[in-house]
Structure 1
């Protein structure tokens, strides 16, 4: 029994030694349009809250309510980086939508990527960090009421 246990421990140690010493963390810039076209993002986000990225023109802002940030992660094991990042992006967008509804906003404007508090503003792309096991997207925006 001891010999079998020792063999298992040695085998596990040998396998662990062949793994990379640190997790991957690849910064990816991906199209917002692609993420919005996958995972039924449009349907899940609905039409009650409008989203404006970077310095995208918006209808007249009638009331500024608050600003907030979200950082969402998803399991990336067995997924392509794009697939995992699109899931994390949708999770972040759903968190922004939920916050907007909670504070009575009908729009989120000036949405920027905010991974590790490093802002990256774009009308067309979002930043995702893809690892061996987890992928993450961080966004922040301003919650407002816009003229309809």
Structure 2
């Protein structure tokens, strides 16, 4: 009985670091927009601009919003999972932008665990043992075409 308890305890201890994995990645927004899957899901009516990235003239700013999306990371490469989670976040932004009369989301920053990371080309993604997550914050806007 004692050997079984020791074996069980060692097994659980060996799994603990894997479950606690939280690997950060910086992924280029352009890589997500270039995904073949994005072509069918993002219709082009809403443009996306990272904070610090050159944008067309902003005519009007609307509300700020956060899109926090996760994907199952089991049997997925971390970077691919990050792109999928980001695509899902952009799809949510697109839907809300259209509903608010906006044609862009500007000043996009990473907002993982409510911590802003500003980068003019990339966003932060975190991959765990089971879940991969992206949180983006941006402002809906109407920009010149």
Q: Is TM > 0.5 for Structure 1 vs Structure 2?
A: yes
Matched, 1:109 2:109: no
Q: Report matched runs for 1:60-139 at 5 Å.
A: 60-139=57-136
Which residue of the other structure, out of 3, 13, 20, is the alignment partner of 2:16?
A: 20
Provide the rounded CA distance (Å) in 2 between the counterparts of 1:16 and 1:62. Answer: 57
Give the number of equivalent residue pairs. Answer: 140
* SS of residue matched to 1:40: helix
Q: Which residue of 2 aligns with 1:6?
A: none
Q: Which residue of 2 aligns with 1:5?
A: none
Where is the helix percentage greater, Structure 1 or Structure 2?
2
Provide the rounded CA distance (Å) in 2 between the counterparts of 1:128 and 1:115. Answer: 8
Quote the offset at 1:147 in angstroms.
2.1
When normalised by structure 1's length, the TM-score is 0.84
When normalised by structure 2's length, the TM-score is 0.86
Q: Which residue of 2 aligns with 1:42?
A: 39
1:39–1:87 CA contact under 8 A, matched in 2:
no
RMSD of aligned residue pairs (Cα, Å): 2.1
Provide structure 2 residue ranges, at least 5 long, that are not aligned to the other structure: none
